[in-house]
Amino acid sequence: MVIITNGKISLGIPPTLPPYLNPINDPSYANIICVISIVVILGSQVAECRVQNSKLASFDYPAINCRKHSAVLTDFGAVGDGKTSNTKAFNSAISKLSQYSNDGGAQLIVPPGKWLTGSFNLTSHFTLFLQKDAVILASQDESEWPQLPILPSYGRGRDAPKGRYSSLIFGTHLTDVIITGDNGTIDGQGSSWWKKFKSGQLTLTRPYLIELMYSDQIQISHLTLLNSPTWFVHPIYSSNIIVNGLTILAPVDSPNTDGINPDSSTNVRIEDNYIVSGDDCIAIKSGWDEYGIKVGKPSQHIIIRRLTCISPDSAMIALGSEMSGGIQDVRAEDITAITTESAVRIKSAIGRGAFVKDIFVKGMNLNTMKYVFWMTGTYGQHPDKGFDPKALPKVSGINYRDVTAKNVTIAGKLEGISGDPFTGICVSNVTIEMIEKKSKKLPWNCTDVAGVSSNVSPQPCELLPVKKEKYDCPYPSDKLPIEDVQFKTCSFKSSVF
């Protein structure tokens, strides 16, 4: 095994080994790893050398924190042929590197190749880095996916009432964890899971691709994520999260392949992501009915910028429908949807309780949409019959401005709850081009909502009366704390192994 500490190599070679047998002292060994076994035979030392081509070039990358120690996945016996299971290699590497958690942290480099693996757990003060042309492939062997208990804020699995499978990359109660790369790929190989879900064969809920629970200081960036069994990126009960530079791809008919789902999490920055999904590109959640109410952890202080989404059957950004811990202070700007069912959608229902409030959206560019504005108070899926029918969600302070939309079927469908209207809705500076052949339909349909509008075409429903003077819906001028987090330039130094 090779550990690099600040560019210095530790091979465990005894100091009495003759210099000509020491690969560090011989430039002819520039492209090999030697694992040295010392055998004492009649007083002499014999060196056995296991050789493999493993030299990696130096590189820099942006990250919230840099690491003092480094290792390469192949140092732990991994084989990148796309067929050999590397679950033990990943777990061994991370277990070994966890000892450096309090000594500057460690980074594990995944080199080019196809690295088949089941679920594995990360550690604190740790970076998982995927080089260009590195592909982590999710195993199809269910025995390599440990079972986890249900999430306390959900009360049951999303696919089946009992437990759930661990995500491919998992961690809990971590601090300072980074998953990044030079656009390396993590492929969930989800098609077999989708088939089982559609045919009702699952007894446990499908795994996510990446899930971090009860964790702080998270970065997930500069990767391509493919074909998750269900949700791709799921930080839950966590804080201080940056998700940027991801390309997330799943077939548009794949079930529940949400892209990025912050869940009961706070201080989140989501920037510069491209998502093609069979479900919501981004969904902000906080628990389901009585279980989410009991846990009571809101999703809040979230900024979303420069998102591009394609999702013909779902939303660019969904708030809910599981929002029983509350959702507040969400900001979205400079976002694009193409061939997507709806833009920023609010989903809730009787029994959810809690709130969706202080939502600010500025700068939407939309093309080929069924709905531009869509709010639903009757999204009636429940975990069980124990929900409280008196637990009504409070939806208020919803602000949209500076929107351009083309090829639209319905401008707005805003449906609150009878006796519990959605209030404080503001829509300003909006131009919507409707599909001509469907122009006879009412462009807006509103019930149980209240608010205002300004400079909106086509003119909104009467429940959003036009302000006489020109008016811009509010958008916060302050910064969230996560916006001030700066990336450092971190390095992996090339060395002769």
Question: Which active-site residues does the annotation give?
Answer: 279
- What residue has token string 């500069």? 222
Residue carrying structure tokens 């661990």: 166
Q: Is the peptide bond before 465 cis (omega within 30 degrees of 0)?
A: no
Strand positions, DSSP E, 42-183: 44-49, 59-63, 69-72, 81-85, 106-110, 113-117, 120-121, 126-130, 134-138, 147-148, 164-165, 169-172, 175-181
Please state, in angstroms and rounded to a whole number, the distance separating the CA atoms of residues 68 and 493: 11
Q: How far apart are CA 440 and CA 437, in angstroms?
A: 8
Cα–Cα dist 245/224, whole Å: 9
How many residues can be counted in the chain?
A: 497
Instruction: Answer whether 373's CB lies under 8 Å from 319's CB.
Output: no
Cα–Cα distance between 397 and 242 in angstroms, integer?
Answer: 25
Tell me the C-alpha distance between 438 and 458, whole Å. 14
CA-to-CA dists, residue 460 to 122, 156, 445, angstroms: 50, 40, 9
